[in-house]
């Protein structure tokens, strides 16, 4: 049984969320708090496995609560917020930076039918988060993930470098990805010599907030790809919301509403395979933390085309699913802790 603590100041929203969660035989809401202050008092008594919190609340908001929880009682936190539609959705991503693991948009309507639409995604996310190991974070600690030592599975050695004329970097991520992307992309200088394409699985409505949040941390320009435009140096591109991102025969962006692949649109594998077809040995593929196997076959395509591939190691992943699948296919030429990925990208792109 997965024990959940709900933190929500709206009585209507709390009642509907509680009903949804208790409908699953694997979940049990063990406590409900109207403010972050109440939640902090409940945590040591109830010992929840997962905390679901809103952002805007009286006395102590979701950001302050997340910071306190990660400093005092670290455990997985899911943000359920309607703030994605507010003027500054970046607030939601500040919670991820403070230690929250994932986000889910809260329905604007207060009817049961509105909440039924998020029932299964909500239950699925909580089940995934219940198995995530989290670490204590200082309240002023701004790095998205704690630094990890290189493990025995890491193959990061100077002799493993293969000289190549790198022209593109493609990165895929899912659960835990926003924090991992910030960690990597914020380390890259404005003079990084090749364009970057990123595919992040994220709930509908949060893409622009992600782009804005990364923009504050990155020296490179972060933007949503536009059809008919070629990737340019100095830019980090994301697919338009709900669309696959590919490259046509001229190397220009092609955005499509083709059916989801493995339940995902955008799909990391779709983008990676397209990058492999156009750039072949001039591409670097990076697969980061995430549940499932999206991106594994795409990374295999990059590797088969002579490109260079990197999988995030298990110790630094929030969820090791996608990198694990790529490693199982033999698609990862390097298996690295998160902290080591940006330095290798810098080295490879400058060769």
Integer Cα distance of 250 and 281 in angstroms: 17
- Judge whether 294 counts as a catalytic residue: yes
- Which among 81, 174, 267, 305 is annotated as catalytic? 174
C-alpha closest to that of 13 among 50, 42, 55: 55
- Judge whether 212 counts as a catalytic residue: no
Residue 221 in contact with residue 236, Cβ under 8 Å?
Answer: yes
CB atoms within 10 A of CB 177: 26
The percent of the chain in helix, strand and coil, each rounded to the nearest 5, is 40, 20, 45
- Which among 201, 274, 313, 349 is annotated as catalytic? 201
Could you tell me how far CA 182 lies from the centroid of its own chain?
9
Q: Where are the beta strands (DSSP E) in the chain?
A: 2-7, 27-33, 50-53, 77-81, 102-105, 168-173, 196-200, 221-224, 235-238, 244-247, 253-256, 283-287, 308-312, 334-336
- Which among 49, 54, 294, 313 is annotated as catalytic? 294
Instruction: Count Cα neighbours of 192 within 13 Å in the Cβ-side half-sphere.
Output: 28
Tell me how far apart the terminal alpha carbons of the chain are, to the nearest angstrom.
52
- Give the residue numbers annotated as catalytic, written as ranges: 174, 201, 294
């Amino acid at each position: 049984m997965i024990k959940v603590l709900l933190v929500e100041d709206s009585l209507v929203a709390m009642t509907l969320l509680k009903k949804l969660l208790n409908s699953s035989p694997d979940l049990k809401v063990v406590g409900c708090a109207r403010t972050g202050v109440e939640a902090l008092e409940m945590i040591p008594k109830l010992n929840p496995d997962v905390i679901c919190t809103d952002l805007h609340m009286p006395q102590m908001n979701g950001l302050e609560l997340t910071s306190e929880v990660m400093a005092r009682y670290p455990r997985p936190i899911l943000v359920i917020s309607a703030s994605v539609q507010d003027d500054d959705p970046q607030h939601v991503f500040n919670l991820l930076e403070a230690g929250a693991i994932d986000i889910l948009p809260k329905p604007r309507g207060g009817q049961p039918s509105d909440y039924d639409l998020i029932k299964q995604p909500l239950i699925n996310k909580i089940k995934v988060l219940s198995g995530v190991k989290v670490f204590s974070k200082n309240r002023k600690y701004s790095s998205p993930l704690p630094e990890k030592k290189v493990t025995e599975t890491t193959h990061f050695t100077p002799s493993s470098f293969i000289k190549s004329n790198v022209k593109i970097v493609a990165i895929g991520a899912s659960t835990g990805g926003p924090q991992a992307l910030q960690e990597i992309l914020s380390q890259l200088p404005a003079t990084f010599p090749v364009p970057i394409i990123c595919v992040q699985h994220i709930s509908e409505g949060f893409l622009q907030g992600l782009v804005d949040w990364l923009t504050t941390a990155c020296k490179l320009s972060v933007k949503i790809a536009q059809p008919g435009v070629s990737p340019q140096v100095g830019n980090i591109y994301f697919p338009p919301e709900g669309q696959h991102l590919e490259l046509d025969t001229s190397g220009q962006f092609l955005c499509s509403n083709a059916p989801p692949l493995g339940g995902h649109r955008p799909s990391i594998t779709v983008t990676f395979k397209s990058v492999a077809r156009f750039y072949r040995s001039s591409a670097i593929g990076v697969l980061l933390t995430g549940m499932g196997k999206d991106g594994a076959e795409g990374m295999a395509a990059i590797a088969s085309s002579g490109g260079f591939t990197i999988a995030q190691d298990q110790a630094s992943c929030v969820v090791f699913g996608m990198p694990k699948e790529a490693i199982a296919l033999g698609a990862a030429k390097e298996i690295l802790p998160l902290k080591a990925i940006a330095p290798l990208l810098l080295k490879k792109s400058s060769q």
